[in-house]
Every structure is written in structure tokens, then in C-alpha cells.
């Protein structure tokens, strides 16, 4: 990214209650030029990937396999493929990670268990890739999971879900969990989807979800900053060049 201009970031938002959360502070601190595509609003549009530095695809309750009822999913996957092919850094969060995986040819399917609440994520070290903490209590809200895209490396797992995070090349990362969660964004998610908080092995009751200390949010938000800094670090990438590690 040339030092003479602001970082250009495109945020892909699927529902109003799953926004960027703590990422907003990072974008503001970096002086980023941020544009939004809000698929939950009419008249949404996707830009040309040329000139973008970072794409952030956020979460949502829909499935990546709902193309028949949500035709914009096909266009979003095509946009993500184009961005990756152009060397743009891409971060997918929850549904966003599943969309990135699907765009790259991986299968997305129901997980054996829904995972909603604060559960430990364990790092899977991959040489040269982003390194998560060995054990990180993170916030989850998902019922589906992704297989690893061809050439991608697993970065993290949990007791309920084998593939919690992946990396392709040097600048594409998908995370199933929500490092961006703040008390305010958690309120919004619970308010929209409280009916999903049923008695199940990996679904915590609302009181337990809300009982975590402020330090839990700070820790995951700090890891999100580290991840965003990693993805946007100065490193020359040729447009259209296949990501390192891709088959």
C-alpha cells in the first residue's frame, strides 16, 4: 500500500446485528478509507477489487449454501475470489470465513454441534502463518463449519469444531469465532437470535455468556488487532499471483 494514501478497506456486512465490533477502533486508528457493502439493504453493490488493500467479510445467520434464496451470495463469493486473486488481504469472520472457504472450493456443512458461547480455541501451529495463543477463550456463534480450502492450513480448533481458523498463503485468513466481540455487539447478537440459546452441549445459557469479565473482551480484541496488523503488514504481493501454499 503506498504511504501516500489511506488504507482502502471494504467491509461486507450481512445483517445489521453482526457489524465490525472492535474492528472499528482499529480502522479508525489506522486512518483507513472504509466502504461498506450491506447485503441486508437494498441497492447494495460490490466495488472493483483493484485498489483495495483489505476485505473484511463479517458474520450472519444464513448459510453460504442459500444461493437459491439469497442470490447475492454467488456474487459475494465471486468478489472474494477476485480479491484473493488480485493479492488483496482478506479476513473472513464466522459466516465470512465460511464464504471465503466456499469461494475457494471448500465444502461448508452443518457442524456436529452448534457452538454458542465462550469456549476455548487451541492453536494449531503452522510455520510461517499467523499464530493464535495456545489457548484462547473466544466467543462463538455458529452452527455450520468449513472444510479447509485446497492449500490452506488449519490455525485453530476447539472441542466442538475441528476447523476453527485457516490461512491460505500470506494474506487470507478465516476465523469461525468472533474476536471482534464487544459487550455492545454481544447484546445485538443475543437480541436478534436469543431463540438459539437452547439446552445443548456447546450452547451456554444467556447468563453465562454475559458473565465473562471485561478482560475476556480485551483479550480477544487484542488478538484481532494482531491479526489485522499481520494481514496488512508491508509485504509486496504481485496481483494475480497464486498465494504461497496454494495447490
Residue-wise pLDDT for 174-207, tens only, equals: 999 999 999 999 999 999 999 999 999 999 999 9
* Domain extents in the chain: 8-231
Kindly state the percentage of the chain with pLDDT values over 90: 91
Say how far apart CA 2 and CA 36 lie, in whole Å: 22
Q: What is the CATH number of domain 8-231?
A: 3.40.50.880
Do 102 and 190 meet the contact criterion of CB atoms below 8 Å apart?
no
* Spatial CA neighbour of 162 closest among 126, 121, 201: 121
pLDDT at 3: 58
Residue-wise pLDDT for 24-38, tens only, equals: 999 999 999 999 999
pLDDT at 245: 35
Please list the ranges in the chain whose pLDDT falls under 50: 236-247
pLDDT at 206: 98
Ramachandran area for residue 79 (φ above 0: left; ψ -120 to 50: alpha; else beta): alpha
Three-state secondary structure call for residue 170: coil
Do 96 and 49 meet the contact criterion of CB atoms below 8 Å apart?
no
Residue-wise pLDDT for 81-99, tens only, equals: 999 999 999 999 999 999 9
Q: β-strands 165-168, 54-57: how paired?
A: unpaired
Three-state secondary structure call for residue 142: strand
Say how far apart CA 74 and CA 138 lie, in whole Å: 30
pLDDT at 247: 31
Amino acid at each position: 500500500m503506498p504511504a501516500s494514501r489511506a488504507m482502502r478497506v471494504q467491509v461486507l456486512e450481512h445483517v445489521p446485528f453482526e457489524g465490525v465490533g472492535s474492528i472499528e477502533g482499529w480502522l479508525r486508528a489506522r486512518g483507513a478509507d472504509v466502504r461498506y457493502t450491506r447485503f441486508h439493504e437494498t441497492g447494495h453493490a460490490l466495488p472493483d477489487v483493484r485498489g483495495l488493500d483489505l476485505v473484511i467479510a463479517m458474520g450472519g445467520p444464513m448459510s453460504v449454501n442459500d444461493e437459491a434464496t439469497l442470490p447475492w451470495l454467488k456474487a459475494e463469493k465471486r468478489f472474494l475470489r477476485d480479491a484473493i486473486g488480485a493479492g488483496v488481504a482478506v479476513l473472513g469472520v464466522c459466516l465470512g470465513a465460511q464464504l471465503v472457504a466456499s469461494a475457494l472450493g471448500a465444502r461448508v456443512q452443518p457442524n456436529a454441534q452448534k457452538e454458542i458461547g465462550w469456549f476455548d480455541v487451541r492453536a494449531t501451529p503452522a510455520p510461517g502463518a499467523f499464530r493464535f495463543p495456545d489457548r484462547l477463550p473466544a466467543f462463538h456463534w455458529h452452527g455450520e463449519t468449513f472444510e479447509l480450502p485446497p492449500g490452506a492450513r488449519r490455525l485453530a480448533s476447539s472441542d466442538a469444531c475441528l476447523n476453527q481458523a485457516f490461512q491460505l498463503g500470506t494474506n487470507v485468513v478465516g476465523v469461525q469465532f468472533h474476536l471482534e466481540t464487544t459487550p455492545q455487539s454481544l447484546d445485538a447478537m443475543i437480541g436478534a437470535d436469543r431463540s438459539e440459546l437452547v439446552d445443548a452441549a456447546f450452547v451456554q445459557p444467556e447468563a453465562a455468556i454475559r458473565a465473562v469479565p471485561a478482560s475476556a473482551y480485551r483479550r480477544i480484541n487484542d488478538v484481532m488487532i494482531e491479526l489485522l496488523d499481520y494481514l496488512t503488514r508491508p509485504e509486496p504481493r504481485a496481483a494475480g499471483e497464486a498465494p504461497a501454499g496454494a495447490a
